[in-house]
Amino acid sequence: MTTKEKIKQILINNQGHYISGEEIAQNIHTTRACVWKNIKSLESEGLLIDAVTNKGYRLQCPTDAPNASAIEKSLRDKGLDISVEYFDEVTSTNELLKEYAKTNHNEKIIIAGLQTAGKGRKGRNFYSPMGTGLYFSILLFPNDKLDKIVNITAMTAVATALALDEVVFNGEDTTLIKWVNDVYINDKKISGILTEGYSSFESSEDNYIVIGIGINLYPPTDDFPKDIKDKAGWAIDTPILDKDIATIKSELVIKITETVMRYYDFSKTGALNPDDCLTIYRNKSNLMGSYVKINHFDGNYTYARVIGISDDYHLIVEYDDKSTEELSSGEVSVVKY
């Protein structure tokens, strides 16, 4: 890579942020004057760069859009026939696919640059700003297989955690999963999954599910909203120099989709077995042994210790009186002493 290419790469990897000339210079072992000269040269080639005194340089137009047709082709090469579309801005990728499923019957992925009405679990919002996150949904038509895929959300958590380990952390086992389906790093949630489904009384052919995945890749430019600031984190602290954001997003979409689709259709493709998935899920669980507060749907709560994950991905807890229970859904939070 030439010095100019390296500088362009650093700007791409820092989209949404200013990076000082000093920092760039240190990064590639050159001088600030050399950085400035190359920035001017990049500008003359048409790259739009903001230069602000005491802040540094920042790309004006984020180029973080993953290449939808390249993703589609890569999935097709792996034997997976699913169309892929990218939009700079949507309300919610889940909502778009649910609308699409009313009149279409083919499997599809929608990826968005930002969501104006990103949906989280339990009617919450999912903060989806531009540039720093990956937001996408997968539409599948399981026909009569709905019962076979009840654990698809937990499986998607495994797929997301594995993909992040591979694409972002060079294959190191870094991510954890908080029951039911949140992906964590260092005690902070970096990814959430929302699965929505439709089951028809008339024909199982009309059954569909939409699996929505949101990942905070970088710290948001304007910080997280107050209500999630203490809990939310991001996957990438320092730029991965050999990959731009678009590439990271594309690789994640491909890896996650591949794993989810293989699980969903594993009997045909003979690929990732649900048993392997359960083992990974158990190994990555960050609640084992923790004393937790269980928030029940009726607003009540109880306390118990987590003692395992059942074969159905239920959380097994033990109450103070030694009685046990398997929780199939709900929300728990770790009690800190």
Beta-carbon count within 10 A of 146 CB: 16
CB 119, min distance to ligand BTN, A: 4
- Dihedral angle over CA of 140, 191, 77, 148, nearest 10: -40
CB 300, min distance to ligand BTN, A: 21
Give me the 298-317 binding string for ligand BTN, x by CB under 6 A, dash otherwise: --------------------
Give the residue among 232, 194, 240, 239 at the shortest CA–CA distance from 216. 232
Distance (Å) of CA 188 to CA 66, 175, 176, 184, 321: 26, 10, 10, 5, 31
Q: Any contact of residue 135 with ligand BTN (CB under 6 A)?
A: yes
Please write down the HEC assignment for all residues of 3-27. HHHHHHHHHHHCCCCCECHHHHHHH
> Which range, of 20-28, 191-199, 228-236, 317-325, touches ligand BTN by CB under 6 A?
191-199
Among 129, 214, 220, 274, binds ligand BTN (CB under 6 A): 214
CB 61, min distance to ligand BTN, A: 23
Q: Any contact of residue 332 with ligand BTN (CB under 6 A)?
A: no
> Which range, of 34-42, 189-197, 281-289, 304-312, touches ligand BTN by CB under 6 A?
189-197
CB 236, min distance to ligand BTN, A: 17
Residues in the chain: 337
Q: Residue 248's Cα: distance from chain center in Å?
A: 11
Residues in CB range of 166: below 8 A, 6 or more apart: 255
CB 141, min distance to ligand BTN, A: 18
Within 24-171, strands assigned E span: 49-52, 56-59, 83-90, 108-115, 133-140
| Binders in 90-129 for ligand BTN, by CB under 6 A | 92-94, 115, 118-121, 124, 126
> Which range, of 143-151, 186-194, 199-207, 276-284, touches ligand BTN by CB under 6 A?
186-194
Among 62, 129, 131, 192, binds ligand BTN (CB under 6 A): 192
Distance CA 193, CA 215 (A): 9
Binding site for ligand BTN (CB under 6 A): 92-94, 115, 118-121, 124, 126, 135-137, 182, 192-194, 212-214
